A and B are shown apart, each in its own frame.
Chain A
Amino acid sequence: MSDQVTPSPGKRRIGVYVCHCGGNISDYVDVDRVIDAVKDEADVVVARDAMFTCSDVTQEEIAKDIREQGLDGLVVASCSPKLHTTTFRGVARRGGLNPYQYTQANIREQCSWAHTDDREGATGKAISLVRAAVARTRLSEPLEPLVVETTGRAVVVGGGVAGMRAAIGLADMGLGVFLVEREAELGGWVGDLPKMFPNGTDGHELARRLQDEIHRRPAINVFTRAEVVEKTGTYGNYQVTVRAGGEQIRLDVGQVIVATGFASYEPEPGEFGYGAPGVVTLADFTRMLDEAGSPLVYHGRPVKTIAYIYCVGSRNETHPYCSRYCCSAAVHASLLVTAADPGVRQYHLYRDMRTYGRHELEYIESRRRGSVYMKFADDEPPLVTSDDGSLRVTVRDLLTGGDQLAIGPDLVVLVTGMVPRDNAELTTALKLPVGLDGFFNEIHPKLRPVETVVDGVSICGACQGPKTVAESVASGLAAAAQAAAVLKRGVAELDPQVTFVHPEACTGCGQCVGACPYSAISLVERGPAKVASIDAAACKGCGGCVPSCPEDAIDLAGYTDAQIRSMIDSLLVGSET
């Protein structure tokens, strides 16, 4: 690491650190030229390079520079901010610098790696990106997280397998839990299931075990035939109103976990013969298997031939996603049929089999036991007709050279997937983000898989998309851990990068109030006039209200009008060194 300190001509004291990232950056960007180009920028008092800025040694050197050079701004030009923003905010804090006066310039993913064919161009672009980061940092203000005390209880909405497991998890971490279930009993879909794939666990038994666990824990209060109708308060201290038995009950909680599950797709009348006797959905068929003896009987007649039609209501314009579990569930159901009566002929008409992971073994087993699989084209689904109570299914089978085949089944099982529940009231009450597919949206499917943009409100289970029981339980426990991590500390920190009003510029027109779906903005008296006021604890920091202001009176901290304009200008400065 070579010193490149120059006197500061400006008011700020900014340190710039450019990373080689081994060679991931410096193989394609001339790091020395980047340093040369920015070391004399106004306000830059330290400009250094490092082989790995994220290494412990360099982190400590940066923290030392902050202390010894009295830096009041920090720029690290390295990889994507998604990877190391937290790291370098920590470095800033250790050096005594406010973490929000740090900017990361992305010169790896958005420069060196995207321009491996153009070292000259990549070097020029890296210089521009670092200059823009310096410009943003120059206008940065110290920000402090808003610290709020939390109420050490949570409400879990939905008493299916994910919700029950989340409630047990929270109680076992010493927290109070309110478990709110819309139906008369806990259990959800799993409580209605017989033996489930892949290992034959009985759904009724599993739900009963979880209910017993819940009843053994006095920390869990259960409300059945109950629904959430309102949420007020702020992060860490919510008042959730529940309607139960004609009463409205107010629950004071610090966290909310939503585990409302899914709905099973209901085919349209006539869709693959649905509505005709003998045409049932997978959910109906699963219940039949649960109730039936051996041999399998439908309306008093023995069932000797079954046709399964896969992907009904899935992977189409209305529901473009794959529910994923249904292939495995149908294969498993066919194995239950075989176990009860090996003589039943079973034909599986599919588009693509998606028995992923260990479920593939059941698929293999079902074929070994005689199930016949036929693949149909996406644009040529099977045809189901019913004539005098006799069912007939015709299909062009791609596996046998496109032969048109006809089956006369006693039962047609439409393998239906998961669709979002109608949760309009809950969605409105909790202001939950809903995706295009109708399921609730997490912040990030990989990095923040159970959190939503509504602070303190997590989602888990199949309300966020199709999941198996195992996946639902895992996400229920993840949501419990996420909620407990906040509640056990007793205080919560809110990201301070939220919007703020310049009251002197505000005319009180109120357009911003309507632009915020989180009710974070209100008009307050300011002398004789009214001006907009933002509740920092309710603001999500999206900045959606910023363009709504005709007077430019709202800014988003960290992304202010001045900062963005300054970055734009800096990006246009020539790269000559």
Chain B
Amino acid sequence: MTPVPAHAGTGRGPRAPHGGGPRVLVFSTNGISDPGIDLAGSSHMHYPTEVVVISLPCTSGVKPSWILHALERGFDGVFIAADGEECAYLQDCSERSAGIVERAQELMEAHGIDGRRLRMAAICSVCAEPFTRQVRAFAGSLAGLAEVAA
């Protein structure tokens, strides 16, 4: 098992590779939220460069252990840009996603990681502005957590 770095979950990891703000990993979906995130870029809407995206087919396929892995390895927060009700695969995608977040937060709690480092919001294929607003707010709240921890 990979040893957990001392900084895990504290928001005080090594300097972010791009700037100085909190590192945020986004899980998006190929057909729904990723096009929404693309649209934010196409519209030249700005959000922190420390926000990076891994796209999957469906939110229901996110493993809680990936979220824990990301936070333990140095991401300050994980944002799930969920399919919500628009999922083309699974009618109950929202319920499944909620269950994934719940299980991830149990894992985070067991590893002493603040539950506020995980956030989920439904992002549709044209939700450019909501995505930008959400990740900015999330990065802001993560920066607040880091200040408290300091």
Contacts and interface: CB of A to CB of B under 8 A. Distances in A.
Interface in B1-52: 14-15, 17-19, 23, 25, 30-31, 34-35, 37-42, 44-50, 52
A568 interface: yes
A256 interface: no
B86 to A, nearest CB: 7
Interface in B36-90: 37-42, 44-50, 52-58, 60-66, 69-70, 73-75, 85-90
Interface residues of B, number: 55
Nearest to B58: A542
B119 interface: no
A517 B91 contact: yes
Given A115-B46, A122-B49, A568-B66, A543 B38 contact: no
B100 A547 contact: yes
Contacts of A542: 57-58, 60-61, 89-90
Interface in A81-138: 81-82, 106, 108-118, 120-122, 124-125, 127-129, 132
B49 A433 contact: no
Contacts of B70: 568
Contacts of A124: 17-19, 49
Contact of B53 (A110, A127, A435): A110
Contacts of A568: 25, 54, 66, 69-70, 73, 75
A547 B61 contact: yes
Nearest to A444: B31
A86 B146 CA distance: 42
Interface in A515-546: 517, 540-544, 546
A540 B56 contact: no
A540 B35 contact: no
A198 to B, nearest CB: 29
B18 A110 contact: no
B44 A116 contact: yes
Nearest to B78: A568
Contact of B25 (A117, A547, A559, A571): A571
Given A114-B41, A452-B88, A556-B57, A574 B52 contact: no
Contacts of A122: 18, 49
A121 B56 CA distance: 25
Interface in A443-501: 443-444, 452-453, 497
A76 B18 CA distance: 21
A415 to B, nearest CB: 27
Contact of A556 (B17, B61, B86): B61
Contact of A453 (B41, B52, B85, B88): B88
Contacts of B75: 568, 571-572
Contacts of B100: 547
A541 B61 CA distance: 10
Interface string A287-310: 000000000000000000000000
Contacts of A575: 17-18
Given A114-B44, A568-B25, A125 B49 contact: yes
B46 A443 contact: no
Name the residue in A109, A565, A568 with the highest tally of chain B Cβ atoms < 10 Å from its Cβ: A568
Contacts of A127: 17
A434 B91 contact: yes
A261 B56 CA distance: 33
A434 B89 CA distance: 10
B108 to A, nearest CB: 15
A35 B34 CA distance: 25
A266 interface: no
Contact of A547 (B30, B38, B60, B90): B60
Contacts of A50: none
A125 B52 contact: yes
A80 interface: yes
Contacts of B69: 565, 568
A441 interface: yes
Contact of B17 (A118, A441, A573): A573
Given A542-B57, A542-B61, A574 B49 contact: no
A561 interface: yes
Contacts of A109: 37-39, 41-42
Nearest to A549: B63
A453 B89 contact: yes
A222 interface: no
A567 interface: yes
A132 B105 CA distance: 25
Contacts of A559: 56-57, 61
A435 B86 contact: yes
Name the residue in A113, A122, A443, A573 with the highest tally of chain B Cβ atoms < 10 Å from its Cβ: A113
Contacts of B55: 81
Contacts of B73: 568-569, 572
Given A121-B19, A556-B61, A571-B25, A441 B88 contact: yes
Given A125-B18, A544-B60, A568-B73, A117 B85 contact: no
Contacts of A118: 19, 46, 49
Contacts of B41: 108-114
Interface in A368-406: none
A382 B65 CA distance: 55
Contacts of A196: none
Name the residue in B30, B55, B74, B88 with the highest tally of chain A Cβ atoms < 10 Å from its Cβ: B88
A436 interface: yes
A565 B46 contact: no
A251 interface: no
B63 to A, nearest CB: 5
B63 A82 contact: no
Contact of A121 (B18, B34, B35): B18
Contacts of A129: 52
B45 to A, nearest CB: 7
B60 A543 contact: yes
A106 B42 CA distance: 12
Contact of B66 (A120, A556, A565): A565
B42 A113 contact: yes
The 6 A-B pairs at the shortest CB distance, nearest first, are namely: A543-B61, A121-B49, A542-B89, A124-B18, A109-B41, A109-B38
Given A124-B19, A572-B74, 8 more contacts: A110-B38, A111-B49, A121-B18, A121-B19, A542-B61, A567-B54, A568-B54, A574-B17
21 contacts: A82-B35, A106-B38, A110-B53, A114-B40, A121-B19, A121-B48, A125-B18, A128-B52, A129-B52, A441-B88, A442-B88, A542-B61, A544-B90, A544-B93, A547-B62, A564-B54, A564-B66, A565-B69, A572-B17, A572-B23, A575-B18
